[in-house]
Every structure is written in C-alpha cells, then in structure tokens.
C-alpha cells in the first residue's frame, strides 16, 4: 500500500469512538437532575461540540504522524495515499464555526425560552435570533472577503548561473557558494530589490477559519493568559487555605446560622427578580442583578461546602475527614505538576516566539527526543500540552466570571450543570480550540513542520491582509504573557488569604 499508513487510520477511528463515549460520560455525570430525560437536542449539541473540540486538538498530533508516514517520499506532494489533512482541517473548522455561531446559540435560545410557550413558538423565537445573526455574519464575512480577502506572500526573485559538479565541497564565510566566482552565487548575493510580493486570493473556507481564529485568539489571550497561572496556583493555594482541623459543634452552628441568613436573603432577591421578569422588566439593571445573584449563590455554595469539610457528620465522619485531607493533597500534587507545565509553556513562548532569532527550540526538541524513545511518546506529550491550554482557558473564564460581574458565570459542577451552562462552555471551548491549534502550530512549528496545519495556520493565516500584523508583532503572545504575569502577582499578593463568607447582599437600585 506504499506510504499509506493503515495503523494511523485505525488509531484515528478508535480515538474518535473513545472521544465520543467519554463525552457522553461527561454529559451524563455533569448534567443537572432537572435535565434528566429531557433537553435531548441541547445534549446532542453538547456531545457533538465536545467531540469536535477534542478531535480538532488531536488532529495536530495526527497531522504530525501523517507527515511522518510520507517520510520516504521524494517530496510531500508525491505522497497521495495518507489522510487528506488539509481537507479535514477545513471541514472540522467550518463545522466548528457553524456550531459556535449558529447551532449553539439556537440551542441556548431554545433551552432558555419561556417554558410556558409551546415548542413551536420557542423554535420560532430561537430561529429568529439565529437567522438574524446569520445574516449579519454573512454580510460581514462577504464584505471583508471581497475587500481584503487576499494573501500577500513576500518572496525573492533569485537566479543563478551553473557550474560543473565539484569533486570536493568547501564552504566558508568567505566562499559560501559553489565555485570561486560570484556568478555561481547570484542567489546568495541577491540585492534587496529582488524582493517582491505575490498577491493571491485566499479561499473562502480559509478566510472563515482565519476570522474565527482572530475572535478566538482575543478570548484565548484573555482567558488563557489568566488561566495558565490560576489553574495550578488555584490548586496550590487551595491546599494552603485548607481547613487544618475539625471545628467544634458550637462553631459549626454559628457559621451555619450566618449562612442560613444569607440563603434567605438570596431567596428574597431571586423572588423579586422573578416578579420583575413576569412584569416584563428585563432591562440592564435586571440583568446585572441576576448575574450578581448567580455570583453570590455560587459563593454561598462554596461556603457551605467548606463548612461541611470542617465539620463532617454522620457515621463515617472520620472517613470523610480523611478523604478531605487526601483530596487537598491531590490538589497540591496536581498544582505542582501544573505549575511545571505552565512555567514550561511561558518559558517556551518567550524563548521560541518572542525572541528573534529563537534562543532554542526548547519543547520542540523535547518532543522530538521523546519520539526517538517511542514513536507516539512525543506525539502524546504534544497533545497533552495542547489540551492543557484548553483547561487553562476554562479556568481563566471561571476565575474572571467570579470576579467581574459583566462576564456571565457558567461553572461546570459534577451532577449540577444545566444545559445552558454546558452549551456556553462548549461554545467557549470550540471557539478557543481554533486559536489553541493555531497557537500550538506556531509555538511548535519546528516539530510540526511540513504539516497541513502549518500551511493553513503558519503561512496563509499569517499572510492575510490586515490580520498578518497581529502575528508579525506577536500581539497575542505578548498579551498572553502579560496577563499570566499579572495573575501570578495577584495570587502572590492575595492567594494565600483564606476566603471568608461573603457579607450582606443587596440588589442594585
């Protein structure tokens, strides 16, 4: 079968099946009891979205393996029997964009629609919002593609004479080319005037992927930059703030009484907001108060959980306390490991991307050496680093949502996640997954060289008019590092403080 890698195809199929089964498992265990045996369409969208996100991340290691399957070909174009990775990339990211901008919003509008309305009216209302969004997006994409949907490649026109094939090779700084005369070195000594620009129109699918990548890159820079620091430091400082001993019954009663008062205040606030909603008063102030109540409710749930940890009850109280201690030890270990990965990521960005020329290939060399140990070891490590960035995005979104009221809070809780929160996080993961792949393709360009991903994200994307300057001056990488540094300073200054139950809550008027 020539260069056709049958093992790669089998592994790809098996991985897709495993990813689908794992996402179904996540849905079943994270869903809220109120959504059991209903909301089947949003659940289908959640599983599909998570599968697309995971497969898109795994496609970059598959692209590298696909390139290695053609390593015996004279040139890459001579190998036509491996996976059509460029077509697969465009297909998966067009599907990604359709899910993010159309399918997931429709599912959210339908799920959050007035339950008193009929199914037909809820579908009509959701379609109205989605069609309006589609028209606006279509017009914007069409106008931008017509005006600036071109790629400018900077090339150098080179020409050189010929010389007889030498019997010996001798190169030095004084003689960098074959032969002793400059006529054989025309390409080496070309003047700056030989540089020119080739302009060609990008394909529309590539342009859609590029614009989606820009939108995702902004979110990735903000959430990923914050998350790359808060993901490991949050676990480490949770261990530092852990309860050191079991409290007395009197202390438990006192704390529980305060939390009970807070719960009653929140219930009154929620009832007042519900009455405003029925009266049709859903303005800016109402939405702000709803987000404030959601934030306070999450903080209250966290306070209750912390109180239960400090005063375990029942026949298995000692076992519960032992599990609490082991849980915090596990957080500390995972936090240390995550901190190592985060530091490696930040160091790699600085060493390989921000310094020109790069000081070292760093992680690229690590992956290559791991591949030398075992064929898939480097690929697995490569996939892990890509997945870690996605986890950082979710951690950053959760942290900012808890501290900035204008960001909607959609936490993922085991056995308590509503479908709208599921859909929101899936949309965020899908949107940022495009940028994660582009970021990884750039950060690991040496390891992922000659792949279809490098062609799309390394050449076409970074040469598009207008967009190319964001990559030329490393805007996203610099923003990522800056936010990571600010988050580290925040945790160093405030992360060690033990959280106290929030004070009296009032709605804004």
336/324 Cα distance (integer angstroms): 19
- Token pair 């019997």: residue: 167
Does residue 105 register a pLDDT over 80?
A: yes
pLDDT value of residue 3 = 43
Q: Average pLDDT, stretch 23-38?
A: 82
pLDDT value of residue 192 = 61
CA 290 to chain centre: 27
59/55 Cα distance (integer angstroms): 6
Q: Average pLDDT, stretch 89-116?
A: 79
Average pLDDT, the chain: 77
Instruction: For residue range 145-161, list pLDDT tens digits in order.
Output: 888 778 777 776 666 55
Instruction: For residue range 217-259, list pLDDT tens digits in order.
Output: 888 898 889 999 999 998 898 888 888 778 888 888 888 888 8
Q: Average pLDDT, stretch 183-191?
A: 55
CA contacts within 13 A on the Cβ side of 484: 26
Burial string for 8-28 (b: 16+ CB within 10 Å, else e) reads: beeebeeeeeebbeebeebbe
pLDDT value of residue 183 = 47
Structure confidence at residue 494 as a pLDDT band (50, 70, 90) = confident
Q: What is the dihedral of CA 273, 105, 24, 233, to 10 degrees?
A: -70
Q: Is the pTM of this model over 0.85?
A: no
Does residue 347 register a pLDDT over 70?
A: yes
pLDDT value of residue 363 = 87
Instruction: For residue range 376-433, list pLDDT tens digits in order.
Output: 787 788 888 888 988 888 888 777 766 655 556 666 777 777 788 888 888 888 888 8
pLDDT value of residue 431 = 82
pLDDT value of residue 337 = 93
pLDDT value of residue 339 = 93
- Angle between the N-to-C axes of helices 204-219 and 119-148, in degrees from 0 to 180, rounded to the nearest 10: 110
Lowest mean pLDDT among 201-210, 265-274, 299-308: 201-210
Q: Which helix (H) or strand (E) holds 118?
A: none
pLDDT value of residue 329 = 92
Question: 284 vs 25, 273, 279, 290, 291, CA distance in Å?
Answer: 38, 13, 15, 10, 11
pLDDT value of residue 490 = 87
Instruction: For residue range 312-335, list pLDDT tens digits in order.
Output: 877 777 888 888 888 889 999 999
7/342 Cα distance (integer angstroms): 33
C-alpha closest to that of 454 among 15, 5, 67, 43: 67
Q: Average pLDDT, stretch 286-301?
A: 78
pLDDT value of residue 174 = 61
pLDDT value of residue 113 = 67
Helical segments of 149-224, H only: 204-219
Residues 300 and 502: beta-carbon distance below 8 Å: yes
């Amino acid at each position: 079968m020539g260069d056709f890698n049958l093992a790669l195809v089998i592994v790809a199929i098996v991985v897709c099946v495993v990813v689908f089964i794992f996402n179904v498992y996540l849905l079943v265990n994270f869903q809220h009891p109120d959504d059991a045996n209903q909301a089947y369409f949003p659940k289908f969208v959640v599983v599909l979205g998570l599968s697309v996100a995971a497969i898109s991340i795994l496609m970059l290691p598959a692209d590298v393996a696909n390139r290695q399957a053609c390593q015996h070909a004279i040139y890459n174009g001579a190998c036509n029997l491996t996976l059509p990775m460029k077509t697969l990339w465009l297909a998966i990211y067009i599907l990604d964009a359709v899910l993010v901008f159309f399918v997931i919003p429709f599912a959210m509008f339908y799920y959050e629609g007035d339950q008193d309305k009929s199914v037909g009216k809820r579908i009509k209302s959701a379609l109205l919002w989605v069609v309006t969004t589609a028209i606006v997006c279509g017009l914007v994409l069409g106008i931008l593609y017509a005006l600036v949907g071109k790629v400018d490649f900077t090339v150098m026109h080179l020409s050189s004479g010929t010389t007889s094939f030498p019997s010996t090779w001798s190169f030095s700084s004084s003689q960098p080319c074959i032969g002793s005369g400059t006529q054989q070195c025309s390409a080496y000594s070309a003047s700056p005037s030989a540089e020119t620009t080739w302009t060609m129109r990008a394909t529309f699918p590539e342009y859609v992927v590029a614009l989606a990548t820009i939108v995702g890159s902004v979110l990735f820079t903000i959430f990923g930059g914050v998350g790359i620091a808060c993901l490991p430091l949050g676990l480490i400082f949770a261990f530092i703030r852990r309860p050191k001993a079991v409290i007395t019954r009197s202390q438990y009663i006192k704390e529980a009484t305060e939390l009970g008062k807070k719960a009653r205040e929140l219930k009154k606030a929620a009832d007042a907001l519900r009455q405003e909603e029925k009266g049709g008063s859903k303005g800016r102030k109402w939405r702000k108060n709803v987000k404030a109540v959601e934030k306070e409710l999450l903080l209250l749930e966290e306070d209750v959980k912390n109180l239960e940890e400090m005063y375990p009850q029942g026949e298995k109280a000692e076992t519960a306390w032992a599990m609490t201690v082991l849980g915090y030890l596990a957080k500390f270990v995972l936090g240390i490991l995550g901190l190592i990965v985060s530091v490696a990521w930040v160091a790699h960005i600085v060493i390989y991307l921000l310094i020109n020329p790069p000081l070292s290939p760093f992680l690229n060399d690590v992956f290559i050496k791991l591949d030398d140990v075992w064929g898939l070891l480097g690929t697995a490590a490569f996939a892990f680093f890509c997945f870690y960035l996605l986890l950082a995005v979710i951690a950053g979104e959760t942290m900012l949502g808890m501290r900035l009221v204008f960001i909607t809070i959609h936490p993922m809780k085991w056995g308590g996640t509503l479908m709208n929160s599921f859909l929101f996080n899936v949309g965020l993961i899908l949107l940022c997954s495009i940028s994660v792949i582009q970021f990884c393709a750039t950060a690991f360009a040496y390891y992922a060289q000659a792949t279809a991903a490098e062609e799309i994200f390394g050449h076409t994307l970074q040469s598009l008019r207008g967009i190319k300057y964001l990559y030329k001056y490393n805007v996203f990488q610099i923003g990522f590092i800056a936010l990571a540094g600010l988050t580290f300073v925040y945790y160093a200054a405030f992360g060690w403080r033990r959280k106290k139950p929030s004070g009296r809550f009032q709605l804004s008027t």
